[in-house]
């Protein structure tokens, strides 16, 4: 059994970026009624995109 550890919150930096309005609307619709913030959604999406890029580089 894996031992429980209290998770550490990683250090963060505030970045101001612009999103097209239609993307904002789609993200907000996707997270509506869920325990998810806009920021958490975007961070997870970027993590997945970076993992996909790394996998594609390994395939070449």
Claim: this prediction has a pTM higher than 0.85:
no
pLDDT tens digits for range 44-56 = 999 999 999 999 8
In 3D space, the residue among 27, 22, 25, 51 whose CA is nearest the CA of residue 37 turns out to be 27
Lookup: tokens for 3? 């031992």
Domain boundaries, the chain: 35-60
pLDDT band at 8 (very low <50, low <70, confident <90, very high): confident
């Amino acid at each position: 059994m894996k031992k429980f550890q209290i998770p550490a919150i990683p250090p963060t930096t505030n970045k101001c970026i612009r999103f097209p309005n239609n993307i904002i609307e789609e993200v907000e619709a996707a997270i509506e009624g869920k325990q998810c913030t806009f920021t958490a959604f975007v961070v997870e999406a970027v993590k997945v995109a970076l993992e996909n890029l790394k996998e594609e580089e390994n395939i070449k």
